[in-house]
């Protein structure tokens, strides 16, 4: 951690402060949202106005969506496990059943899909659904390679005036996200310089699991593997309870991106929401020894996103699996925060997690007179019910949902670039416009991943 910059910025005209002030005057500063007057859109959610939805990946995490989906017409269920399909069928008895999502997406009466499958299929399902003009809610992470994130975002950009998207980073609806954004933009810690984000989850594995007999009859294992290179069946990939089973497979390179896409999706979101960052121009990643089977438990990646309308260039860091930023003061033990963020500005630190935050004024301007908390009327509007925000958007509400595929693809592209730099073993320079690593041609192969024959992202 660098020593805090103690240059006084309060009441003076630092360039960043002027930028922030001008930005506040000239632009809407919602939590990634453009604030529009109420009544701009047709009233969503008339009782007759139900969506025809396919739930793909029908059990596990999908259970968390059942209540919201009960207000709609769930007309299709898809799951590679027929027992899971039967379970969901009891909740949504009118739905047709599928084991292959490619067939499910052919059903003609669909308006929208909710995707809760394994991570290695997310970008596939999302992109195929967008190609069919379907609204998409996709569980996090949206993608597990840079190529996938960019492709889904490109498709979304072509359709964003008619389709609603949301990535399952539902903690984004917590009020603390808005409060942190307001404090950063309003200058509670002066001019923003660095953001550290961390997660302490550790799920070490030695390698892919060994072959362990035939899959049970109810499980279509080949479809479970989907686009991923073949690995033999082992019940260890299916050993955790519903909603937690992703922790049985998401650390393997062919199935996920480990904590980068898991808790990283949620925790980086606290920062991403507050910093309006684009794709970083340079990235480093350091951690434990590279294992070709398993993503790293311990790793730190560092990103350099460019300046934007309201701040200068900053540094963003992601720490996982035991790596941690250094606390600015001995009596604040960051290790007590399992998944947290720390913003460093010219006048102090803001430390927080999903629900709480604390301010640590520091440097020469600790009087705080430079900072005026917002009036209640100026607080950012709450997101409300996260899934419902998307459902309302599908029905003609504001298409600019909190975690749409622009916001979320950018964030996961950044996070995966950290893994790319870690695998490359050195700093990478990156051109976000072309999606190319510019300082090492060979490293570009790490931006995509291998698929089995017959699987294509563009379906
Ligand atoms: N937003 C959150 O807080 C949160 C919490 C937990 C999980 N998740 C995400 O939800 C997803 C699912 O996680 P999980 O723990 O439920 O995993 P899981 O292994 O239990 O899979 C979920 C369901 O999808 C089915 N499935 C798997 N591959 C499929 C495919 N190709 N086609 C159709 N069905 C398929 C499984 O049989 C299961 O019923 C993961 O991407 C995970 O990251 C998000």
Model confidence pLDDT, tens digit, residues 258-298: 999 999 999 999 999 999 999 999 999 999 999 999 999 99
Q: How far apart are CA 227 and CA 111, in angstroms?
A: 25
Q: Residue 3 pLDDT more than 50?
A: no
Supply the DSSP symbol for 290.
P
> Best of 55, 82, 90, 118 to mutate for ligand 1, by most ligand atoms within 8 A of CB?
118
Q: Residue 47 pLDDT more than 90?
A: no
Q: Are strands 315-320 and 299-304 parallel, antiparallel or unpaired?
A: antiparallel
Q: How far apart are CA 455 and CA 151, in angstroms?
A: 15
pLDDT band at 48 (very low <50, low <70, confident <90, very high): low
CA of 50 to the centre of ligand 1 (A): 25
CB of 226 closer than 6 angstroms to any ligand 1 atom: yes
Q: How far apart are CA 103 and CA 107, in angstroms?
A: 7
The structure's pTM equals 0.93
Return the C-alpha torsion angle 202, 207, 212, 217, nearest 10.
Answer: 70
Q: What is the pLDDT of residue 24?
A: 59
Look up tokens 């606390």; give the residue: 327
Cα dihedral 264, 268, 273, 275 sign: negative
Q: How far apart are CA 262 and CA 247, in angstroms?
A: 9
Q: Which two tokens stand for residue 199?
A: 């997660």
CB of 79 closer than 6 angstroms to any ligand 1 atom: yes
CB of 419 closer than 6 angstroms to any ligand 1 atom: no
CB of 224 closer than 6 angstroms to any ligand 1 atom: yes
Residue 250 Cα: closest atom of ligand 1: 43
pLDDT band at 8 (very low <50, low <70, confident <90, very high): very low
Q: How far apart are CA 53 and CA 129, in angstroms?
A: 12
Q: Which two tokens stand for residue 45?
A: 């959610």
Q: Give every CB contact of residue 11 below 8 A, 6+ residues apart in sequence.
A: 369, 370
CB of 80 closer than 6 angstroms to any ligand 1 atom: yes
Q: Which of 267, 280, 254 is nearest to 120 (CA)?
A: 254
Residue 237 Cα: closest atom of ligand 1: 19
Q: How far apart are CA 25 and CA 37, in angstroms?
A: 17
Q: Which of 259, 247, 269, 246 is nearest to 171 (CA)?
A: 269
Residue 169 Cα: closest atom of ligand 1: 1
Q: Residue 300 pLDDT more than 50?
A: yes
Q: State the chain's mean pLDDT as an integer.
A: 92
Q: Which two tokens stand for residue 226?
A: 């989907």
Q: What is the pLDDT of residue 364?
A: 81
Mean local confidence (pLDDT), 297-301: 98
Of the chain, the end-to-end C-alpha distance in Å amounts to 46
CA angle 66, 245, 340 (to 5 degrees): 90
Residue 121 Cα: closest atom of ligand 1: 31
Residue 81 Cα: closest atom of ligand 1: 37
Q: Which two tokens stand for residue 221?
A: 């294992």
Q: Report CA-CA distances (Å) from 220 to 61, 80, 224, 225, 233.
A: 19, 5, 6, 9, 11
Q: Residue 43 pLDDT more than 90?
A: no
Which protein residue has the closest C-alpha to ligand 1 atom 36?
Answer: 57
CB of 61 closer than 6 angstroms to any ligand 1 atom: yes
CA of 355 to the centre of ligand 1 (A): 25
* CB-CB contact of 437 with 429 (8 Å): yes
pLDDT band at 365 (very low <50, low <70, confident <90, very high): confident
* CB-CB contact of 300 with 211 (8 Å): no
Q: How far apart are CA 138 and CA 129, in angstroms?
A: 10
In the sheet that holds 165-167, the strands lie side by side as 96-98, 73-78, 52-56, 112-115, 135-138, 165-167
Q: What is the pLDDT of residue 46?
A: 45
Mean local confidence (pLDDT), 335-355: 98
CA of 56 to the centre of ligand 1 (A): 9
Q: What is the pLDDT of residue 198?
A: 98
Which protein residue has the closest C-alpha to ligand 1 atom 25?
Answer: 57
Q: Residue 313 pLDDT more than 70?
A: yes
Q: What is the pLDDT of residue 22?
A: 67
pLDDT, tens digit, for every residue of 62-76?
999 999 999 999 999
The residue length of the chain stands at 459
Chain centroid, CA 316 distance in Å: 15
Q: Give every CB contact of residue 175 below 8 A, 6+ residues apart in sequence.
A: 382
Q: How far apart are CA 131 and CA 404, in angstroms?
A: 16
Q: How far apart are CA 225 and CA 80, in angstroms?
A: 10
């Amino acid at each position: 951690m660098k020593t805090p910059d103690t240059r006084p910025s309060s009441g003076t005209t630092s360039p960043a402060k002027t930028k922030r002030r001008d930005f506040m005057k000239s632009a809407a500063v919602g939590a990634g949202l453009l604030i529009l007057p109420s009544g701009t859109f047709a009233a969503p959610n008339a009782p007759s106005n139900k969506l025809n939805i396919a739930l793909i990946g029908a059990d596990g995490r999908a259970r968390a969506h059942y209540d919201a989906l009960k207000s709609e017409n769930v007309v299709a269920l898809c799951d590679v496990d027929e027992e899971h399909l039967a379970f969901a069928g009891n909740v949504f008895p009118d739905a047709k059943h599928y084991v292959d999502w490619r067939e499910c997406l052919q059903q003609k009466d669909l308006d929208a899909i909710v995707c809760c499958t394994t991570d290695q299929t997310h970008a596939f399902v999302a992109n195929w659904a967008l190609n069919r003009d379907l609204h998409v809610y996709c569980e996090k992470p949206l993608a597990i390679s840079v190529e996938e994130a960019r492709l889904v975002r490109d498709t979304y950009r072509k359709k964003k005036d008619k389709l609603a998207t949301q990535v399952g980073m539902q903690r984004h609806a917590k009020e603390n996200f808005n409060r942190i954004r307001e404090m950063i933009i309003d200058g509670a810690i002066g001019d923003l310089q660095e953001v550290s984000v961390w997660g302490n989850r550790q799920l070490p594995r030695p390698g892919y699991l060994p072959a362990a007999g035939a899959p049970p009859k109810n499980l279509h294992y080949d479809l479970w593997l989907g686009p991923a290179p073949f690995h033999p069946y082992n019940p260890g990939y299916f050993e955790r309870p519903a909603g937690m089973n992703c922790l049985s497979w998401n650390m393997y390179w062919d199935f996920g991106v480990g904590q980068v896409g898991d808790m990283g999706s949620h925790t980086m979101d606290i920062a991403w929401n507050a910093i309006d960052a684009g794709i970083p121009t340079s990235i480093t990643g350091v951690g434990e020894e590279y294992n070709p089977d398993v993503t790293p438990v311990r790793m730190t990646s560092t990103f350099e996103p460019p300046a934007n309308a309201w701040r200068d260039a900053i540094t963003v860091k992601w720490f996982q699996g035991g790596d941690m930023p250094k606390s600015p003061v001995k009596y604040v033990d960051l290790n007590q925060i399992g998944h947290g963020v720390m913003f460093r500005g010219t006048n102090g630190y803001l430390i927080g997690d999903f629900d709480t935050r604390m301010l640590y004024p520091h440097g020469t301007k600790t009087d705080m007179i430079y900072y005026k908390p917002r009036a209640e009327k100026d607080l950012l509007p709450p997101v409300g019910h996260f899934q419902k925000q998307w459902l309302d958007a599908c029905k003609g509400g504001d298409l600019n949902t909190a975690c749409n595929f622009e916001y979320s693809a950018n964030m996961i592209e950044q996070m995966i670039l950290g893994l790319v730099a870690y695998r490359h073993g050195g700093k990478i320079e990156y051109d976000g416009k072309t999606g190319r690593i510019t300082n090492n041609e060979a490293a570009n192969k790490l931006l995509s991943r291998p698929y089995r024959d017959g699987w294509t992202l563009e379906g």
